[in-house]
Chain A
Amino acid sequence: MSVNQESTGLVGRSMPRVEDAALLTGRGRYIDDLPTRRDTAHLAILRSPHAHAEIRSINASKALALDGVHAVITGDDVASLTRSLTVGVKANVECWPMARERVRYVGEPVALVVAETRYLAEDALDLIEVDYGVLPVVMDPKAALQDEAPLLHPSLGSNCISERSFRYGDPEKAFSEARHRIAVEISYPRNSCTPIETYGVIAEYDPGEDAYDVTANFQGPFSIHAVVALALKVPGNRMRLRTPPDSGGSFGVKQGVFVYAILAAVAARISGRPVKWIEDRLEHLMASVSATNRVTRLEAAVEPDGRVTALSWDQIEDCGAHLRAPEPATLYRMHGNMTGAYAISNLAIRNRVVLTNKTPTGLNRGFGGPQIYYPLERLMHRIADELGLDRLEVIRRNLVPSGAFPYRTASGALLDSGDYVAAFEAALKDGGFDDLVERRKRAREAGKLYGIGLAAAVEPSVSNMGYITTVLTPQERAKAGPKNGAQAVATIGIDPLGAVTVKVASVPQGQGHRTVLAQVVADRLGLPFEAVRVNTELDTGRDAWSIASGNYSSRFAAAVAGTARLAADRIRERLAAIAASQLNVEAAQVEFAGGRIFDRNNPDNSVSFNRVAASSHWAPGTLPDGIGHTIRETVFWTPEQLEAPTPVDGINSSLCHGFIFDFCGIEIDPATGAVRIDKYVTMHDCGRILHSGMVEGQVRGAFAQAVGAALFEEYAYGEDGSFLSGTLADYLMPTVMETPEPVILHYESPSPFTPLGAKGVGEGNCMSTPVCIANAIADATGASDITLPLSPGRIADLIFGEEKPSSNPQARKPAKARPGERQLTGEGSATVAASREAVWKMLLDPATLEAIIPGAHGVEKVSATHFRADVTLGVGPVKGRYRAEIKLSDMVEPEAVTLSGSTQGALGFGSGVGRITLTDADGKTVVGYRYEAGIGGKVASVGGRLLDGAARVVIGQFFQALARHAGGGSGGGGILARLKALLGGRS
């Protein structure tokens, strides 16, 4: 397709955005700003504190008794009105939007409350009593594959929900003939691009028509609309899905709101009124959606010159507790691109998808890219190092050669255009690579830790809606029928005054689609920029849309803007014919500019655009034959290159392929392990640039998120399944202080497959930057195993060497096994002015226990060795009420007893075992204790930093009270300080 340079030349210019005036003055219309019906109630969600547990019972009577509470809804209530969600693989498994019978991750919805206000709804959540039977958890994807691993879904018989192996070319031969085999093993962590606006849904149900009307800040793909309608058991035309005019960022993440669209819809139906739900930040971090974590072994067959002849991938993808649509798309989105930017014709891939007790995964900027480029580009770095070759040279030798485009990769992607080698060389030259090498040299000479990282990547955009079917076998695909394409749509309407409106189904979340579309259409119709208005709200009950609609896989510039261009072409052609008849010239002679349509050879012979444009309304009878009208033109466009997977599993997973080459220089503070990105250069070939300001904005935005992924961000879990990154003080997004400004370079190779020659650009740095930074850290430290995120503590482990031992061997306790683990241990002692026998009696007496258990309200003696109590525990202002069970065992009167206890309450749960020993000391008794405790639930998610110390305070309170009750020590006034000192002997 040819690309015309427009006369007015708006496209390519960095215009001020039409979106901004409203957003800068507080007049944006995000979901929580929209007016709602007066009877709208608010939804709040009770979420599981456990990673894996049976739900034995749910008692909502106290919640329902609260004034203003309209409904409490359980998973079974939801199930009675819905169908299990469609799962993207063939597997005997149910997938419900909220827990039934069993919870499988911390944060899984357990009950819904509909109430007058959100405040009240949260009050009601506190009153719901759920009895859980805790089950063993499986958190690690490799462990999930073990035979003895706890099963999340017994019906599956395994935690592996999908396994496929692929081979392209002759990888076995290539490996057997290779001079070198070099491998990396990578565990890529969980993270998320977490937008600043959380999820939001407003839902209504019309019982008269059995129809749902849902507004959600959903971002697409609208293939999910089918999933929602099927789940709600209504035809698609009775599931109206609308999006608000503005969205506070998405980066893929707001795809995951669809689950809540279903829940809110059912809640509206059951409570008989519109329901609004705005997710809070704790819910978002804990349970919205996450990128996948993945364990990868990648091996290369390598020639002595560094040329890679084959790759072998073994990927274990962790999709969390349920395989939610469109997963396992993260694993297959890059399937055509498993050789990256390199010409490698032999390829083996083994893909396994496992389920673990974590939040289900979904779309996230870079979708599948970081998980493959991290191992691939670490491998290229290692190949150079192991063979003693120049790292640049290894990349250069393997790049898809110039002149080879369009280039078909081993696994079937058609790399549309580019000159990777030229872009690579330009990046080195224009980005000042030689200077950076010099800088490294000087830094190292000055005793600093300085490293240079490299990364090359292909950035796919405009997903083939059929790529996900690569997860099925060819036989299964044949049975299900082919899936392919990516329908984009744009509508141009002209009103009776000749004003032009553009309508698309692109659902922007801040990318300025309205501005670019106005540029594209105004250019084509010879109108001033301001003359074209663009509407990007989507209403499935009213607008043109299809399954590929939405804002994902960087499809806007390539597909949507291109489709708008095609619609403008069609309107223009007809307007030209109408104008030609009025101007008495050939249509081919007609030109559009400055709001007028005129004879190219005689510009004075002209007519106003509006007049011609309006004539379809006012005087259809005067239009030339065969023109029809110019009132509204809707164009659907799907690229022919997006074919269904071939019978040998070849898949052109995306239409466009940008090229990226990044390099960076990083300095590490040898004293603290702090990382400073000294320089970052990122070269992009994203085809034709439609708006340079926005392209740079996309690059910088993805880069900042990638800096977060590399250095700060992780959705971390404890071994017990507790979620540990529950606040924005734990899930650390970079601020302006941690985000350097990258040097952005461009190399423009227009895509031959898109109407405007544009390709996607929004995701590339999420793919290339984490590994580029990791490679620089490897270069600086000499370490080969680099695990993200690279916190200063992790860096310190790479550079600090052996720790200086303590001079006091007594103090040298082994450090805990892993950061983030929630197991708490401690010991201490207190001296009590009473005999051992007296202390022993106290420990077995409910009245004494009531007096010494911190905050106990009534201790019930179930048996001689089993007590039950309601207790209020906490430190400082943090207090929660818990139900506690205490059991005594291994009793050696009056010397020792084991005390095991568990507590459960709104703030979380805990369990622990303590061995108490009583030693006689001159008539007094030394009470020694040693305990192990585990704490989970909300306090672990939001208070991890403070939890151990807080638990110590609470446990200390118990022994202080014991000592006090027994008459205290001998001292008197200073007893508290003394006890504190005594209790100070800790882990």
Chain B
Amino acid sequence: MPQLTARNRHRVAFRLNGRQVEALAENRMLLSDLLRHELGATGTHVGCEHGVCGACTIQVDGAPARACLILAAQIDGADVRTVEALAPQPGRLSVLQAAFREKHGLQCGFCTPGILMTLDAFLTTRPDASEAEIREHLSGHLCRCTGYATIVAAALAAVEELRKEQKENA
């Protein structure tokens, strides 16, 4: 049984945005720090490091989770997605991202990546999401700039657009 010693750095391997990555990290390193400072994925932001603000929300195995409440040592073998994975290609925005731009769903943009990761995970599984459900999911995020109204509007616009796309594809 592998007991990883405290002061040494240990190999962590996981999937990040569809690619296998490896890094060396102390057991205690937070996933938020691992992503940002070891792997250079600085799109995930850190706001409180105690799981309340939601800025660091990423997707682990498809579900939204706080990167600041996950230890590097816990992530070995997982599938992690961050905001960097959302755009279909450079220079284009996903439906959700485009809706945020259209509806002014962001100001400083610091909380935005976390919010996008929550909504992306939710809308992927629930393209028919209601406003109440969207609010429920957003309640795990603090935004200090927008007063939330435009974030809700953006999420609803994205739902509308995704529904349209689904219909066209069907």
Contacts and interface: CB of A to CB of B under 8 A. Distances in A.
A24 B100 contact: yes
A700 interface: yes
* Most chain A beta-carbon contacts within 10 A, residue among B44, B93, B147: B147
B113 to A, nearest CB: 6
Interface in B22-70: 26, 28-29, 36, 41-50, 52-53, 55
Contacts of A20: 100-101, 106, 109
A792 interface: no
B45 A700 contact: no
A25 B84 contact: yes
A249 B87 CA distance: 24
A701 B147 contact: yes
A23 B102 contact: no
B108 A280 contact: no
Given A196-B143, A736-B138, A32 B46 contact: yes
Interface in A176-208: 193-198
Contacts of B86: 24-26
A25 B47 contact: no
Interface stretch (B121-129, B149-157, B160-168): B149-157
A918 B146 CA distance: 62
A726 to B, nearest CB: 10
B146 A701 contact: yes
A33 interface: yes
Interface residues of B, number: 53
A24 B147 contact: no
Interface string B119-149: 0000000000000000100111111111111
Contacts of B43: 25-28
Interface in A442-458: none
B45 A197 contact: yes
Interface string B76-114: 000000111011000001000100111010111111110
Interface size, A (range)? 35 or more
Secondary structure at chain A's binding surface: helix, strand, loop or mixed? loop
A430 B82 CA distance: 44
Nearest to A738: B139
Contacts of A693: 104
A701 B145 CA distance: 5
A701 B108 CA distance: 11
Interface stretch (A287-295, A475-483, A506-514): A506-514
A703 interface: yes
Nearest to A24: B97
A248 B86 CA distance: 21
A737 B50 contact: no
Describe B's contact surface by its main secondary structure.
Answer: loop
A32 B111 CA distance: 14
A25 B49 contact: no
A281 B145 contact: no
Nearest to A692: B104
B147 A739 contact: yes
B116 interface: yes
A445 to B, nearest CB: 29
Nearest to B142: A733
Nearest to A728: B52
A735 interface: yes
A799 B149 CA distance: 31
Task: Count chain B CB atoms within 10 A of each CB in A198, A511, A697, A703 and give the residue with the most.
Answer: A697
A135 to B, nearest CB: 31
Contacts of B140: 735
Contacts of B146: 697, 700-701, 704
Contact of A281 (B45, B49, B109, B112): B49
A697 B145 contact: yes
A249 B145 contact: yes
A694 B109 contact: no
Contact of B93 (A21, A281, A742): A21
Nearest to B97: A24
A26 B142 contact: no
A30 B111 CA distance: 12
Interface in A661-720: 693-694, 696-697, 700-705
Contacts of A27: 43
A247 interface: yes
Contacts of B152: 736
B33 to A, nearest CB: 8
Contact of A700 (B82, B109, B147): B147
Given A21-B93, A196-B53, A736-B139, A26 B83 contact: yes
A196 B110 contact: yes
A251 to B, nearest CB: 7
A487 to B, nearest CB: 26
30 contacts: A16-B101, A21-B101, A24-B86, A24-B101, A24-B106, A24-B112, A25-B43, A25-B84, A27-B43, A30-B45, A32-B42, A119-B26, A195-B144, A196-B53, A196-B108, A196-B111, A196-B144, A246-B108, A251-B144, A281-B50, A510-B108, A510-B109, A693-B104, A697-B150, A700-B150, A701-B107, A701-B145, A728-B48, A728-B53, A729-B50
In the complex, the 3 A-B pairs of residues with the closest C-beta atoms, listed nearest first: A26-B43, A510-B108, A248-B110
